[in-house]
Structure 1
Amino acid sequence: MNAPAIIPEQLETPRMPSVPRAHLPAFSCDTHCHVFGPYQRYPLRHPSSYAAPDAPAERYLEMLDTVGMGRGVLVQPAPYGTDPSALLAAVARRPDALRGIAVAEAGTEPAALQALYAGGIRGLRFVEARDKAGRLLQGSVGFDSIAPLAPVMAQAGLHAQVWGPRETHLTHLERLADLGIPVVVDHMACLLPQLGLDDALMQLLLRLLRAGRIWLKLSVCRVSRDAPDYAELRPLHDALLAANPDRMLWGSDWPYVRMGADAPDVAALIDLAWRWFGDDPTRHKVWVDNPAALYGFKA
């Protein structure tokens, strides 16, 4: 690994959850969390644009156990770049219950992707977030790398997970959905709730969902700050869910980087989703069946 080893001097302690009122179905899955550290063993590979969380695998597993999530998916954060060491070590703690989303650059050899799959990785994350000079966030791999990687990703059994500002999804998502690999859209595609149901991005998402061409992660705290009820987001959430409940996933986004004191309680987000999902078949589909199908969890 040629990237430098960066050990943060100050760490941010993540908010740990209370116990939700809802009793989740067995094998429920939180499909979007991150682990960081221990930094002496797993140093960052790029400078972080946010306070480094004290969120090693032990603390992450405590969070899952507290809220009653039997399964989880960990997503590689940008400061680790393409170094999957912390991610793979965390997934290996519970190989039957955890999966990972890694980061790899165009030109990565098929054998390397197959090794990631063997370690519990089921997708690669691509982030199209750039600074004013047009440079990608350090440690990120952009959308232009997806097409070159798609054939070898398909061979390795990996999907693409994509995140970027609203405009990038409007520009790229239709094309990405036709690359022959599953595409998972992070954080509800960074929709702007104030634009409502007629927003061009919302209409694009609904069309792609109805055709079964994308998956979508429901992560309300990253799209709206109207906590704790997120009422402004409810119409969009319900329309997306109705468009194709078989392509919906749920993610808390713990440990909530960049949110500081505004970080929500995972339990409160679970209780909110319980109410919004409305019935037990939908809850089972979003929390159990859909993650099992996409990430390859066994019954």
Structure 2
Amino acid sequence: MPTFEKTPGWLDWYADPSQPRFQVPAGAVDAHCHVFGPGEEFPFAPTRKYTPCDASDEQLFALRDRLGFARNVIVQATCHGADNSAMLDAVAKADGRARGVATVKPDISEAALQRLHEGGVRGVRFNFLKRLVDVVPTADLTTISHKIKDLGWHIVIYFEAADLPELFDFFSGLPTDLVVDHMGRPDVTQPVDGPEFALFQRFLAENPQVWCKVSCPERLSVSGPPALNGEQAAYRDVVPFARRIVESFPDRVLWGTDWPHPNLKDHMPDDGLLVDYIPSIAPTADLQRRLLVDNPMRLYWPDEV
């Protein structure tokens, strides 16, 4: 059996997160999470940019239940490359309570795509973060987008705000729905009404096929999590950005934990605290239900809506 040594300085996920004070609505979906290995059963890709700790489907489902969620969308982790075995195994074990987002290569056959569909996959993910990819994958994405459009799948895209100007027209011309990870990673030290975030809002406004995950404040924040006494607002510098998107595009927003939080450098978030952050960006029961239930169900379980 293969053995793997974690990337030096790797931060492991919280084994005992706090119990959230905020109760998510019935049927809530954690629309962005991952499984890592376990490496002995599902080896990590030789081409990976990092080696994580193990984070199994059993541990993910235990977190789902602790936080009060009903379902998960399990996104293929880059450390597994295009071998979707760990993700597919987790989706299968969820008994209909999970969907998957895969990584595929441009030469994938229609038969292979159909097998992924039958396995619960409803989208593919493309990473445009230059620190995590060797080549910006525009050509591959164009090829795959035309292969998946008849399946009704969408494309999850991960990029940084500084790169949106050069990608705006390319993304706008793709033939499927798009889901942007983590609000396109805005610089939260800039004004929420500044030109950088205004461009992202224009991207959403001009492209009704584009959805947005208002997740991962721990990746974007400069102020960090609250003090131990709980008196500070959690990730307060990210709140105006996420709330602006939720209130402006309430039918195209999603939320997820990002468990087990790969590649964080300064702190590991408490997943219970992340749930308690939700009311600060979706302040009404209606917005909370759209964010956590209605929107992800419409995207991933449309036959049950």
> Which residue is equivalent to 1:8?
4
Instruction: Normalising by structure 2, report the TM-score.
Output: 0.88
Q: Count residues with an aligned counterpart.
A: 290
d(CA) in 1 for partners of 2:116, 2:294: 23
Alignment match of 1:285 (pick from 279, 286, 290): 290
Q: How does 1:184-223 map to 2 (within 5 A)?
A: 184-211=179-206, 212-219=208-215, 220-223=217-220
Alignment match of 1:241 (pick from 227, 239, 246): 246
Work out whether residues 51 and 258 of structure 1, in 8 Å CA contact, stay in contact via their aligned partners in 2: no
Cα distance change of structure 1 residues 200 and 144 upon mapping to structure 2, 3 Å threshold: farther
Work out whether residues 51 and 79 of structure 2, in 8 Å CA contact, stay in contact via their aligned partners in 1: no
Instruction: Normalising by structure 1, report the TM-score.
Output: 0.90
Cα offset for 1:47? 4.7
Work out whether residues 34 and 77 of structure 2, in 8 Å CA contact, stay in contact via their aligned partners in 1: yes
Cα offset for 1:272? 1.2
Cα offset for 1:82? 0.7
d(CA) in 1 for partners of 2:279, 2:235: 14
> Which residue is equivalent to 1:83?
83
Work out whether residues 196 and 236 of structure 1, in 8 Å CA contact, stay in contact via their aligned partners in 2: no
d(CA) in 1 for partners of 2:183, 2:195: 14
Work out whether residues 222 and 237 of structure 2, in 8 Å CA contact, stay in contact via their aligned partners in 1: no
d(CA) in 2 for partners of 1:260, 1:197: 25
Cα offset for 1:101? 0.7
After superposition, the C-alpha distances for 1:94-141 in whole angstroms (9 at most, x for unaligned) are 132101111012122122112111101111000112359x824xxxx8
Letter in 2 for 1:216: C
d(CA) in 2 for partners of 1:78, 1:69: 25
SS in structure 2 opposite 1:194?
A: coil
Work out whether residues 239 and 280 of structure 2, in 8 Å CA contact, stay in contact via their aligned partners in 1: no
Does 1:171 find its partner at 2:176? no
SS in structure 2 opposite 1:100?
A: strand
After superposition, the C-alpha distances for 1:171-216 in whole angstroms (9 at most, x for unaligned) are 2133213322000001110110112224444122212323423100
d(CA) in 1 for partners of 2:2, 2:198: 42
Work out whether residues 95 and 120 of structure 1, in 8 Å CA contact, stay in contact via their aligned partners in 2: no
d(CA) in 2 for partners of 1:263, 1:60: 16
Letter in 2 for 1:182: D
Cα distance change of structure 1 residues 173 and 114 upon mapping to structure 2, 3 Å threshold: farther
> Which residue is equivalent to 2:127?
127
Structure 1 segments unaligned to the other structure (5+ residues): none
Work out whether residues 11 and 268 of structure 2, in 8 Å CA contact, stay in contact via their aligned partners in 1: no
> Which residue is equivalent to 1:111?
111
Work out whether residues 72 and 99 of structure 2, in 8 Å CA contact, stay in contact via their aligned partners in 1: yes
Cα distance change of structure 1 residues 246 and 277 upon mapping to structure 2, 3 Å threshold: same
RMSD value over aligned CA atoms?
A: 2.2
Identity of aligned residues (%): 30
Letter in 2 for 1:79: C
After superposition, the C-alpha distances for 1:214-246 in whole angstroms (9 at most, x for unaligned) are 100011222214222222222212221122110
> Which residue is equivalent to 1:37?
37
d(CA) in 1 for partners of 2:2, 2:77: 14
d(CA) in 1 for partners of 2:2, 2:266: 25
d(CA) in 1 for partners of 2:3, 2:168: 36
Structure 2 segments unaligned to the other structure (5+ residues): 226-233
Cα distance change of structure 1 residues 131 and 62 upon mapping to structure 2, 3 Å threshold: closer
Alignment match of 2:256 (pick from 240, 248, 251): 251
Letter in 1 for 2:59: R
d(CA) in 1 for partners of 2:168, 2:120: 26
